Amino acid sequence: MLINKTYKPKPYRTFVIKDGPRQKERTIFCPAYYPDQIIHWALMQVLQPVIMKGMYEFCCGSIPGRGVHYGKRYLEKWLRKDRKHTKYCLKLDIKKYYPHIDNEVLKEQFRRKIKDPSALWLIDCIIDSHAEGLPIGNYTSQWWANFYLQGLDHYIKEELRIKHYLRYMDDMALFSNNKKQLHKARKLIAEYIKPLGLTLKENWQVFRVDERPVDFLGFRFYRNKTTLRRKNSLRIRRRVKRASKKPKPSLSDARAILSYMGWIKHSNSYYFYCKYIKPYVNIKQLKEVVSYASRKHNQAEIVLC
């Protein structure tokens, strides 16, 4: 299909999920496994090194080895070791980022980076498979969404001279010792992204770091500690209470709570754990539930083989 250029993406299967503590509705576009998902994966094996070559060091969303905890580690380091240049924080977010990505602008960006006509043909096929923007659900979308803002990353660092800047997909945190510099940066960023078809959300904030924590990456960052975001802590408490009312925790409860334990261990939340988790659930029992389910699944696979 790829050699003869007969590949045509199949229609997406769509469904709506409610994401996060706010239960925000997101439309997921699920591509067919064969041939679409396989082709997306194969294409990214080649494109990934090309995209990574110009990627900003602290762009840390949906990139191998650069997840939430990667960004968290550097944000803590800046706040604790460079008080002078982290006096003020500017928090920004792009309005409905994925649907508002301009397909023609994205194609043009790829043409500046890649010269192989066959690769460009395949990239165009995948981009054109969705009418507007990038579909949430494609393996390629998370990479291309990061690639789309590569120019902005370099603009913020090289032109605006922001010393400390972190981006997690379309969420941005900029730090400076000058409040006016951050207000100016916000206006210039809004102008820069206009030709890309993007606009900033109205909920941008500039604030003094010593007066309030930086709410970013699911955590609240203080100078001397890192705690869970309030909405995340509320979600954890609700899940634990639901699980504690059952005679035996279900597999989904066990997996969810053990996953939450990762957030707790990576923050200063020992008091939270002692008060809201330890009295209600047994972590050892949850691990046994997950372990038993894994063994059962593996045995079933062996029988099928």
pLDDT digits (tens, 9 = 90+) for 118-172: 999 999 999 999 988 999 999 999 999 999 999 999 999 999 999 999 999 999 9
Residue that wins the pLDDT comparison between 22 and 149: 149
Pair 257, 296: CB distance under 8 Å:
no
Global model pTM greater than 0.85: yes
Nearest to 169 by CA among 185, 145, 189: 145
pLDDT for residue 18: 76
pLDDT digits (tens, 9 = 90+) for 208-220: 999 999 999 999 9
Distances (CA, A) of 200 to 60, 92, 96, 144, 194: 19, 7, 9, 19, 9
Lowest mean pLDDT among 10-14, 17-21, 51-55: 17-21
Please count the CA atoms within 13 angstroms of the CA of 295 that sit on its side-chain side.
6
What is the C-alpha to C-alpha distance for residues 2 and 175, in angstroms, rounded to an integer? 46
In the predicted model, what is the mean pLDDT of the chain?
A: 93
pLDDT digits (tens, 9 = 90+) for 75-97: 999 999 999 999 999 999 999 99
- Residue 128 gets the label, from left (phi > 0), alpha (psi -120 to 50) or beta, of alpha
